[in-house]
Each structure stands twice: as C-alpha cells, then as structure tokens.
Amino acid sequence: MTKHELAKNIFEKGSYLCVGLDTDINKLPAHILKESSDPVFSFNKAIIDSTKDICVAYKINTAFYESMGIKGWESLLRTAAYIPSTHFKIADAKRGDIGNTSHQYAKAFFETYHFDAVTVAPYMGKDSVEPFLQYPGKWIILLALTSNEGSHDFQLQQFSDNEFLYEKVIRQSQTWGNDGNLMYVIGATRTEQISHIREIVPEHFFLVPGVGFQGGNLREISKHGLNKHGGLLVNVSRSILYASNLENFAEEARTIALQYQIEMKEYLDEIPETD
C-alpha cells in the first residue's frame, strides 16, 4: 500500500485507528473456545467484521501466535488472509538481524504472509534494516521511542553529541529509507516527545501503540502527531478486543472502536486533506 493510498483511506474513513490483534487464547469468550476448531481465528474474524469500516489498519502481534506453536501460525495465516486488502496489514514482529537473515525475515512477512509492513528493531543498524526496504509498496516500522519503562535504559540515553539514542535512530534511518517505506514506532505515553519527533520527521507516519481504555492521550498524540497525510496510526488492542467476554463481544468491541474513531474524525477535520 502506498502512502497516498493510506492517507486517502484515513481521510475517507475519518480514522487512523489500527486494531491490534494481540489475541490471547486465555482471554477469549467461552462460547468461542467451545464452538470453534480455531478459536483465535474465529475471534479475530468477528473483530475484523465488526471494526473494518471504522479502522484503517490491523496489527498482528506475532508473539501471541508463536507461543501456540504450529496451531498459532495457522491462526495467524488465516487472520492475515482474512484482513481486507483495503486495510494496512502490520506484522508486529520486531525482527532485525544481519543482512542475510533479515532478508529471510522480509521474505517471510512480505512474500509468504503478505503483510504491508513489519516492525523492526534498529540495534544492529543499517544492513539489518535495508533488506526490508527492497520491496516496492512494503514498509518497515522502526522501533524508535517506546513507552515502556525499559525505554529509559538505552533509548533515552544521551550520546556525546547530545543526541538521544532514539533521535540517532530516527536521524540515521532517514538515509536508509524515506517517508514512503519507513515509519516509526513512537509510544503513546511520550506525548511530550511527539511534537519534537514530528519536527525531525515532518512527513513520516508514526505507529503509536499503547493507547489505553480511557483514551486520555489521544487528543495530545493527535495534536502533536497529525500531519497533512494523517501521519498517525494509533493502535488499540486490549480495550477493543476484550471489551466483553460474552456472546456480544464483537459488538462491544465495535462500540469501543467507534469511540476512538469519532474522536479521531474530529481531529482530522481540523487539518487540510492531502492531495
């Protein structure tokens, strides 16, 4: 999917919502577990059906599927295939290795599983990232500044040239890719840094995970992060997926997703549409 197509979807739908399919079999409604031979896929299918008109992206957190072995990979494949091609399909896999191996990961996620994007860890530098950038229409989403406590250990440490590690990652990586094949993961609790990062990379998309149930941060994230292409994909996982564990779970998921989308439309209406 091109940047232009993604931006178009965002403005047409009034939404930059990404629904995170961090599907944990231990949290599924009892009736799904009882009735389905692939409960994880059945659950995801219902969530996709009930949210696809109000979100623009789905993010599959591969860890939740890998932990279930072959069965988990089957659920992942079925889910990936079920996500409509109109939606931006993210493998949240945080891969990254030497060139030869990264090439295999790129092949896995782009050719074998047909994702639009994969999250990549920057620790090993340029040649670990570049193999993912060879695929036209495909994206990498590079870890930059995450919102977990451990982000202070390295990302928020300052180099002798005064740059923080996350700033160096953003600055260096701009020589590897561009705003048409490279996005950044920016944690939702870092609203104070989002406007700073937006200054460094005015044109790039940010994937913002970690928006909570209350959505308290969405206004701040949007205020500092939106640009004329939209420029944001805000991921919400658990508060949508597990809105209810009764038979009506998909409707309840939609209700929560709709709350986010309505708020997003408001913020989008305040900026001019991209051409």
> Which residues participate in catalysis according to the annotation?
94
Rounded Cα distance between 66 and 70, Å, is: 8
What the block records as the tokens of 193 is 């840094």
94, amino acid identity: K
DSSP annotation of 191: H
Which of 194, 217, 219 has the alpha carbon at shortest distance from 205? 194
Greatest pairwise CA separation for the chain in angstroms: 59
Tell me which residue has tokens 């982000």. Answer: 151
Rounded Cα distance between 30 and 211, Å, is: 27
Q: Tell me how far apart the terminal alpha carbons of the chain are, to the nearest angstrom.
A: 16
Q: Are the CB atoms for 102 and 132 separated by under 8 Å?
A: yes
Q: Are the CB atoms for 238 and 209 separated by under 8 Å?
A: no
Rounded Cα distance between 80 and 234, Å, is: 19
89 burial via Cβ count (<10 Å: 0-12, 13-18, 19+)? buried
Q: Quick one: how far is CA 266 from the chain centroid?
A: 21
Which of 250, 207, 265, 179 has the alpha carbon at shortest distance from 89? 207
Which residues bind to a copy of itself, rule: CB under 8 A?
22, 61, 63-64, 66-70, 73-74, 77, 92, 94-102, 104-105, 107-108, 111-113, 121-129, 143, 146, 148-155, 157-160, 162, 165, 168-169, 172
What minimum distance in Å lies between the beta carbon of 127 and a copy of itself?
4
What the block records as the tokens of 182 is 């490279």
- The sign of the torsion formed by the CA atoms of 64, 70, 74, 77 equals positive
